[in-house]
Amino acid sequence: MSLRLKDSVRKKLYMIIVIAILAFIGLFSIKSIVTMIKQKTNIEYKLEHHGYSTKEIKILKRNYNKKELTKLLDKEADKNIPLLIEEKYYIAKNLDKYLDYLKANPNTPVSKVISYINTRANEKWYTDPKEADLSKGKLLLVNKFNKLNEDYTPELVNVSNWYAYGENKLTQEAYEAFIQMFNGAKDSGTKIVATSCYRSYENQKRIYDKDVYKYGEEIADESVAKPGFSEHQTGLAIDLLEPGYNLNNFHESTAYSWLLDNAHKYGFILRYPSDKEDITGYSYESWHFRYVGVEVATKIHNENITYDEYYAYYLNK
């Protein structure tokens, strides 16, 4: 009797052990399935299987939220995307334009691509121009894609002949800043003089038409703005020289060197630098300075960017 009881107990124990083992295996399998499902729905898993490396995924996660990352999966995996979004002046809404440009110009550095697209420098000059945003005040942008109306005239004051050759005008704020800069240069033993400040639409038209007649439209467009597209019409631009120098050699003058180091302290920037012609659309003009205020001028100077780039990234993105 006791042997039968022991056999039955033994069988029950065996059954309990078997059931426990099966339950454990089942639980483990369920957890594995759940883990697998979670992995497959995990954004990192998806990005990895989409074609991005661990390093690239880290960059993407650092710059994009989950919604943006999910949307990114709708695009073909592109190794240029992590490179682009790490660039300082990257603008998210321009991503497709960056990628399209890189496909057509694969050897272009991504930093250049971003500058071209942000400023529209990849487009043909004067294509689909917009009205300049006058609400920006002294920070309005006038270039080959942003124009002023024919009748636009800012509030202007006369520039004293003590500071300029001939009759010139500037906005009050720009004029006061120029006087301070003039005195700063003088205190350092350097003299600067204004040669051309405000120009009306009509005056700019005469200058442009004259150059087109002499050199042809293509060459004229490299150095002279079309009427309505000139910064001089804003009353914020000023052409400077040092006595004894001209437009061709001003870059060799002491005044020019001083301005490169100090103009931003008074709110002025060199508007058309020699190494940014592909961005500004104009040949190098060592004499052309633009008033934007001390804070903005200092930022542009420190970051070594053009006003076109500054406006696109900091004011218009």
Tens digit of pLDDT for each residue in 92-115? Answer: 999 999 999 999 999 999 999 999
Sign of CA dihedral 220, 224, 227, 229: positive
In this structure, which amino acid lies at residue 209? D
Tens digit of pLDDT for each residue in 222-260? Answer: 889 999 999 999 999 999 999 999 999 999 999 999 999
* Residue 143: exposure state from Cβ atoms within 10 A (0-12, 13-18, ≥19): buried
**Which one is catalytic: 56, 231, 285, 309?**
285
Cβ–Cβ < 8 Å for 199, 207: yes
Tens digit of pLDDT for each residue in 52-105? Answer: 898 998 998 888 888 888 888 888 888 999 999 999 999 999 999 999 999 999
Listed in sequence order, the residues at least 6 apart from 167 whose beta carbon sits closer than 8 Å to its beta carbon are 158
SS3 track for the chain: CHHHHHHHHHHHHHHHHHHHHHHHHHHHHHHHHHHHHHHHHCHHHHHHHHCCCHHHHHHHHHHCCHHHHHHHCCCCCCCHHHHHHCCCCCCHHHHHHHHHHHHHCCCCCHHHHHHHHHHCCCCCCCCCCEECCHHHHHHCCCECCEECCCCCCCCCEECCCCCECCCCEECHHHHHHHHHHHHHHHHCCCCCEEEECCCCHHHHHHHHHHHHHHHCHHHHHHHCCCCCCCHHHHCCEEEEECCCCCCCCHHHCHHHHHHHHHHHHHCEEEEECCCCHHHHCCCCEEEEEEECCHHHHHHHHHHCCCHHHHHHHHHCC
> How is the chain split into domains, by residue range?
43-119, 130-315
Active site annotation includes 285 = yes
Mean pLDDT of 33-52: 67
| 221 has pLDDT over 80 | yes
Q: pLDDT band for 50, please (50, 70, 90 cuts).
A: confident
Give whole-number Cα distances, 83 to 80, 116, 153, 256, in Å: 5, 16, 44, 37
Q: Which long-range contacts (CB under 8 A, 24 or more apart) does 221-224 make?
A: 221/125, 221/126, 221/281, 222/281, 222/282, 222/283, 223/282, 223/283, 223/285
What topology is assigned to 130-315 in CATH?
Muramoyl-pentapeptide Carboxypeptidase; domain 2 (3.30.1380)
Structural tokens at position 291: 């008033």
73 versus 264: the higher-pLDDT residue is: 264
24 versus 224: the higher-pLDDT residue is: 224
Highest mean pLDDT among 4-8, 16-20, 180-184: 180-184
11 versus 282: the higher-pLDDT residue is: 282
pLDDT (0 to 100) of residue 22: 67
